[in-house]
Amino acid sequence: MNKILVAYATMTGNTSTVAETIQQHLITKLPEAQVKLLDMADLNPVDLLDYDLVILGSSTWDDGDVNQVAREFLERLNSGETDLAQPKFAIFGLGDSFYPEFCKAADVLKINISEHKGQVVGELLRLDGFPDDEVMKTACEWADTLL
């Protein structure tokens, strides 16, 4: 894996904090790789094809609502015919397990990536609550499984 993208959709900054932690962890683990961090608001779906691994993260609002940034990215993705068969994808989500639709944004991302022939590797990571030390540790352990 030479080129990795960690892209996040955040409204309050929690998802970007987790994404940055994952990026820094991967830089430490793979010093020879290029690991880029990008806000999903600035992500063109065609640009995904430039990477070997794309890690997408999004928060879920209330009971299963995909946040606005992720929703706009998915609109851009679904407005074209981008074939995502080339890179591999991994997906994480932040949410509150109080809600029945816990981390549904991660499921929605997976469905949309799969509809464009994208291969999702590993399990979806579902993070509960705010990015405290335990959440960050879990995110780094999950990133290790992707390697």
Report the amino acid identity of residue 113.
Answer: I
Q: How far is 99 from 81, CA to CA, in rounded Å?
A: 34
Band (pLDDT 50/70/90 cuts) for residue 62 is confident
Q: How far is 110 from 90, CA to CA, in rounded Å?
A: 9
- The DSSP bridge partners found for residue 37 are 6
Q: What's the chain's average pLDDT?
A: 95
- Please indicate whether residue 114 or residue 98 has the higher confidence score (pLDDT): 114
Q: Which of 147, 146, 144, 77 is nearest to 117 (CA)?
A: 77
- How many structural domains compose the chain? 1
Q: Which of 99, 145, 96 is nearest to 123 (CA)?
A: 145
Q: Which two tokens stand for residue 66?
A: 């995909």
Q: Are 25 and 140 in contact (CB under 8 A)?
A: yes
pLDDT at 63: 75
Q: Which of 89, 101, 14, 9 is nearest to 52 (CA)?
A: 89
Look up the domain containing 105 and give its range. 3-146
CATH code (residue 66): 3.40.50.360
